[in-house]
Amino acid sequence: MSELKGQCMCGAVIVTATRADPVLRACHCDMCRRWTSSMYMSVPTTPGSIVVTGPVKTYRSSDWAERAFCNTCGSALWYATVHDDHKSLAAGLFDNAANNTMKLEFFSDLKPDGYALTGDHNQIEAVGNAFYAVFYRYARHCDPFLLNRQAKCAKTPRSPGLTL
């Protein structure tokens, strides 16, 4: 594990954290695409290791999550689940996305036709058992849309070999 140091576009917000894994994750959900005008790419960090200084503003984007941005330039900083304050830091904060490698795409079936990520990595679709198993395991949220499918998720085995 190594220490990461990054900043927002204007440099007013400085972020340091300990890298958990050298991977990148992308999310193509509707909220992430509206927030970033593309996909949200994140870097996993060790819980409790994140230190942030500068003018941070948060927005409660749902019952279970918040998104943070620089109050000066508007750069995306993190996506966090509110029940445990688990933060997924924006890859764009770090030079060359912290030299991490693309490992996983969430909601890959919802991405626009105008772009695609290349390489050998996992893609989880919004519709299908693998998505719900992983999403419930890691996000643990209470989205009414997905709660209607909770029985389906509960019967779904975890995806073998899927590393986040």
For position 15, which CATH number holds?
A: 2.170.150.70
- Nearest Cα neighbor of 26 from 89, 80, 132, 102 is 102
pLDDT digits (tens, 9 = 90+) for 2-15: 899 999 999 999 99
> How many domains, the chain?
1
Amino acid identity for residue 52 in this structure: V
Q: Say if 152 falls within a structural domain.
A: no
- Least confident piece of the model among 125-129, 135-139, 143-147: 143-147
Q: Say if 151 falls within a structural domain.
A: no
Residue-range definition of the domain harbouring residue 20:
3-123
pLDDT digits (tens, 9 = 90+) for 86-129: 899 999 999 999 999 999 998 888 888 988 888 888 888 876 54
